[in-house]
Structure 1
Amino acid sequence: MNNDLLGTKPHYQILDGLRGVAAIIVVCFHLTEPLASSRLDNVVNHGYLAVDFFFLLSGFVIGYAYDDRWDKLSISSFLRRRSERLHPLVVLGMTLGAIGFYFTDSPIWPLIDTVPVWKMIVVMLIGWTLLPVPLSMDIRGWFEMHPLNSVGWSLFYEYIANILYALGLRKLSNKALACFVVLAGAVLVHLAVTSPNGDVTGGWTLNTKHMRIGIIRTMFPFFGGLLLSRVARPIQIKNAFLWCSLLTAAVLLMPRIGGAANLWMNGLYEAFCIIIVFPLIVYIGASGVVQSKMEERICRLLGDLSYPLYMTHYVLVYFYVAWVSNHKGIKLWQAWPYALLTFSGAMVLAYASLKLYDEPVRAWLRKKMK
């Protein structure tokens, strides 16, 4: 989901901007989700596919940044660099989730008022490591592996992909990697088309079903992105950021396909987006050039905010979801002021997290790890 390029390689500014666009849509998805009557009518219906898009972006950027640097790089130094980039906000997100935990008490989370402080602190400390919390330590009642900051599950799989890359998959030839990616794509299609929900959602619970989904959702996009970074030959494309942003939004905002009667159709749509559309977006974005200083600033700001926004916004969404659950039957047109307030708060929190915490902590870590 992030990039920490070595040396002075040219920076993919448009890809940074697209990561920010996707992160904003994730926030919107989480704000409209509790207002939907079912998974069929969420206004931001496919917002969760942004996670798969992040995995593909991450694989592409990791390949671009590191594939030709292993003569100067050890596995431990690679993982240290990735931890330096990813982990400070993991710790912050879990800590903020712990601070707000008891203030989000609601009937939809039946366990909160029964959780002793010591148990919540233990869950927070486990969350700092990003290790999944077993179901026996569930303190919210949503069966999440990270109940203090729901989105932590995707970072868990991000780490798995990075570790697999470092330990050996980076050594695969392009042909071998292509075979791996094709196989992973076939498994992804099978999951999407046969899913009882008609989609690829899942991965956030520490059980066999969700772990299988999480691994499948990670393997194709991450290593597909890695393969794309090796074989793509970018060309200059004008207005790439605009077109890629519109295409990303169109994919993630697309209404449910097929309805309840043809769930497989929606699954097929999602597989098509992950396997075909997302790589196309990344290729176009990597081929594009920023058109103006203003576009450059927008891409830089969106890129800077994308990871802090993703890792801290759900702390505020918990409060919003509790409010919605206490106003049964409320509609979007009634809830929009509260949704807008939560969205604005998430953006402010992300910027504050970036400037007051993430950047200073990473600078300190870089000095300590030299």
Structure 2
Amino acid sequence: MKNYTLGKKPHYKILDGLRGVAAIIVVFFHLAEPLATGHLDNIVNHGYLAVDFFFLLSGFVLGYAYDDRWTTLTFGGFLRRRVERLQPLVILGMTLGALTFYFTDSTIWPHIHTVPVWKLLVVMLIGYTLLPLPLSMDIRGWEEMHPLNSVGWSLFFEYVANILYALGLRKLSNKALACFVAVAGAALVHLAVTSPNGDVAGGWTLNVEHMRIGLTRVLFPFFAGLLLSRVARFIPITNAFFWCSLLVAAILFMPRIGGAEHLWLNGLYESFCIIILFPLVIYMGASGVVHNQLENKICKFLGDLSYPLYMTHYVLVYFYVAWVSNHKGITLQQAWPYALLTFLGAVVLAYASLKLYDEPIRNWLRRKWRPREYPLSAASSAQPTH
């Protein structure tokens, strides 16, 4: 259920915790990925679906936080709030990616040392804006729109959904929004079932194929989350955080369905997860009751850590991927100490980024942009998060 903070809008603590659980599994996915031989045998095989979960959670939280505020809230005011929440860590992630870029030279990226500094700086500055980079500016060689911080592509589509919501889709009636969500869901199923790999993975390259994938991946979950925030009627659910965390982990760790012979079956599985299971998890999490202080602290810690972890972990993963590529044929049994060290380093980096950079910057932006809402003595704990 909602937790209340004096003077603030009620806050969903369990949803914060679930966002942290999903972010941790994303790190596991990226650490297991270079050890896999392809898209069929990653031990965290559906970890990329965490992005779709984030989109749905974001739509739910933003609908809850902003739907009833548009009589006084302007588009500019809304966008400032989203920039205030998202952009500091976007900038930090790109900066760290640039500072460490030349140190990740390896057999998988043999031309890194030939990239001129001016080009690296241009890529970093454009990365600050999250505008997609063309393939001609791909300085790493993975055909990504943000080669200094791989995860930046999902933030680009997060902004696209936010802008669409603010510019007009927020005005849709519940029936009209339900029709829009149904069409978006049909497009998602078609993508997943007909994809060459039988999944929804993609969205990180500036070309027609990946732009279609990215838009399809964000439109259904984000606006399904918005619809859920409007129409759901919640009932108290005990142990919701435990059961929801278990369900999220089961979905993301699920082995590949159908193998190489029946790829469409995996597409059906992913469609079912995004369209049915993820909304169920959000509903259960929003209905759940935080039972004690320990659970409250765990949810708060995971929620606070989730976005910094997501936005900074790949800086360290680049080093890990380079190490794995330089040791061909390495097994999971050989690699796990390095993977564990990378994971722990990512958690420490995320926490340091949160406390030393993200929270101070966001507090400063709030005081600068919204002095009436956030006087110097105001707390900052009840802001909607990504």
CA distance in 2 between counterparts of 1:70 and 1:189 reads 33
Aligned residues: 366
Q: Is the partner of 1:79 in helix, strand or coil?
A: helix
Percent of residue pairs identical = 80
| In the alignment, structure 1 residue 325 sits paired with structure 2 residue 320 | no
Aligned to 2:144: 144
Q: TM-score, normalised by structure 2?
A: 0.94
CA distance in 1 between counterparts of 2:291 and 2:224 reads 28
Residue type matched to 1:260 in 2? A
Residue type matched to 1:102 in 2? Y
Q: Is the 8 A contact 1:6 1:66 kept in 2?
A: no
For structure 2, the 5+ residue unaligned runs are: 371-386
CA distance in 1 between counterparts of 2:282 and 2:53 reads 9
CA distance in 2 between counterparts of 1:209 and 1:54 reads 22
> What is the CA-CA distance between 1:110 and the residue it aligns to?
3.3
CA distance in 1 between counterparts of 2:115 and 2:252 reads 36
Measured against aligned partners, the alpha-carbon deviations of 1:51-86 in whole angstroms (never above 9, x if no partner) come to 000000000000000001111200100000010000
Pairing 1:3-152 to 2, within 5 Å after superposition: 8-152=8-152
Q: Is the 8 A contact 1:126 1:133 kept in 2?
A: yes
| In the alignment, structure 1 residue 294 sits paired with structure 2 residue 290 | no
Q: Is the 8 A contact 1:110 1:141 kept in 2?
A: no
The verdict on how the C-alpha distance between 1:121 and 1:183 changes in structure 2, with shifts beyond 3 A counting, is same
Q: Is the 8 A contact 1:313 1:350 kept in 2?
A: yes
Q: Is the partner of 1:109 in helix, strand or coil?
A: coil
Residue type matched to 1:150 in 2? S
Q: Is the 8 A contact 1:85 1:362 kept in 2?
A: yes
Query: Cα RMSD over matched residues?
Result: 1.0
Measured against aligned partners, the alpha-carbon deviations of 1:231-271 in whole angstroms (never above 9, x if no partner) come to 00111000000000000000000000000000000010000
Q: Is the partner of 1:47 in helix, strand or coil?
A: coil
CA distance in 2 between counterparts of 1:25 and 1:7 reads 34
Aligned to 1:225: 225
CA distance in 2 between counterparts of 1:97 and 1:234 reads 42
Q: Which runs of 4+ in 1 moved over 4 A?
A: none
> What is the CA-CA distance between 1:109 and the residue it aligns to?
1.6
Q: Is the partner of 1:309 in helix, strand or coil?
A: helix
> What is the CA-CA distance between 1:9 and the residue it aligns to?
1.6
CA distance in 1 between counterparts of 2:56 and 2:38 reads 28
| In the alignment, structure 1 residue 153 sits paired with structure 2 residue 166 | no
> What is the CA-CA distance between 1:111 and the residue it aligns to?
3.0
For structure 1, the 5+ residue unaligned runs are: none
> What is the CA-CA distance between 1:6 and the residue it aligns to?
12
Q: TM-score, normalised by structure 1?
A: 0.98
CA distance in 1 between counterparts of 2:158 and 2:251 reads 22
Measured against aligned partners, the alpha-carbon deviations of 1:291-322 in whole angstroms (never above 9, x if no partner) come to 11000000000000000000000000000000
> What is the CA-CA distance between 1:367 and the residue it aligns to?
1.2
> What is the CA-CA distance between 1:124 and the residue it aligns to?
0.2
CA distance in 2 between counterparts of 1:6 and 1:268 reads 45
CA distance in 2 between counterparts of 1:190 and 1:105 reads 39
CA distance in 2 between counterparts of 1:111 and 1:223 reads 41
Residue type matched to 2:28 in 1? C
CA distance in 1 between counterparts of 2:42 and 2:275 reads 23
